[in-house]
A and B are shown apart, each in its own frame.
Chain A
Amino acid sequence: DAKTTQPPSMDCAEGRAANLPCNHSTISGNEYVYWYRQIHSQGPQYIIHGLKNNETNEMASLIITEDRKSSTLILPHATLRDTAVYYCIVRETPYNQGGKLIFGQGTELSVKP
């Protein structure tokens, strides 16, 4: 079973920041938080990941709480092309076997003009 819970849907106005929350209260110390998104009928696209520190890249920022029980993905200036299903995943990593990504239901983000 997925180790994360996310709201099923969110709306965001174009040009505004989109803040997508994720709860992962049972995360263990060596598990990373990954975010992927899936635009309709395409393969999932990697966005960002983190362990305990906040992370930023050209696509988004990831804020992880100090207790690591929750995180927030921030898209700083959402565009219509950011409309997608966003998955927050806690990654199980059997060493040297390839990590299992267990997808939850995700959040369907609709960016509106």
Chain B
Amino acid sequence: DTEVTQTPKHLVMGMTNKKSLKCEQHMGHRAMYWYKQKAKKPPELMFVYSYEKLSINESVPSRFSPECPNSSLLNLHLHALQPEDSALYLCASSPLYLLQETQYFGPGTRLLVL
């Protein structure tokens, strides 16, 4: 099973709302990732978790707050977002024991900030 699941599929939120995106994998992978993808642009890395610890933060604004409660689950907490944060948010995971390991992506959550 090479499936990464993401919920919800779509989310509409106001600028004062607090919401969370959820990502789950049951492949035993120990690295998990958040990417952001604007329309007609390639995905951009936001965060990397390795062994449930944040290992890479690509200078993402604090209104995005990642959390990795366990090795199978990754959350992205959203607060006080701006309309320009509207995008497809992609989660990925990888095994983390091979230098040439493959990242597997979920289908994404399409976020609209009003």
Which residues of A line the B interface, CB within 8 A? 2, 30, 32, 34, 36, 41-46, 49, 51, 87, 91, 93-106
- B72 CB to closest chain A CB, in angstroms? 16
Residue from B31, B45, B102, B108 within 8 A of A43 (CB atoms) = B108
A43-B48 contact, Cβ under 8 Å, with A99-B94, A100-B56: no
Q: Does A97 contact B103, Cβ atoms closer than 8 Å?
A: no
Residue from A87, A99, A100 within 8 A of B42 (CB atoms) = A87
Give chain B's interface secondary structure class. Answer: strand
Chain B interface residue number, banded: 20 to 34
- A27 CB to closest chain B CB, in angstroms? 14
How many angstroms between the C-alpha atoms of A63 and B99 in the bound complex? Answer: 20
How many angstroms between the C-alpha atoms of A4 and B50 in the bound complex? Answer: 26
Closest residue of A by beta carbon distance from B93: A98
How many angstroms between the C-alpha atoms of A30 and B100 in the bound complex? Answer: 9
How many angstroms between the C-alpha atoms of A94 and B104 in the bound complex? Answer: 18
Write the B40-58 contact mask toward A (1 if CB under 8 angstroms, else 0): 0011110011100001100
- B40 CB to closest chain A CB, in angstroms? 10
Residues of B within 8 A of A42 (CB): 107-108
How many angstroms between the C-alpha atoms of A95 and B104 in the bound complex? Answer: 18
Closest residue of A by beta carbon distance from B101: A99
Q: Does A43 contact B106, Cβ atoms closer than 8 Å?
A: yes
Residues of B within 8 A of A51 (CB): 100
A99-B103 contact, Cβ under 8 Å, with A44-B43, A87-B42, A104-B42: yes
How many angstroms between the C-alpha atoms of A101 and B91 in the bound complex? Answer: 13
Residues of A within 8 A of B106 (CB): 43
How many angstroms between the C-alpha atoms of A44 and B100 in the bound complex? Answer: 17
Q: Does A32 contact B104, Cβ atoms closer than 8 Å?
A: no
- B99 CB to closest chain A CB, in angstroms? 5
Closest residue of B by beta carbon distance from A103: B42
Q: Does B48 contact A100, Cβ atoms closer than 8 Å?
A: yes
Listed by A's residue number, 28 A-B pairs whose Cβ atoms lie within 8 Å are A30-B99, A32-B100, A36-B105, A43-B108, A44-B105, A45-B105, A46-B103, A51-B100, A87-B42, A91-B100, A93-B99, A93-B100, A95-B99, A96-B96, A97-B31, A97-B50, A98-B31, A98-B33, A98-B48, A98-B94, A98-B96, A99-B99, A101-B45, A101-B103, A103-B42, A103-B43, A103-B44, A105-B42
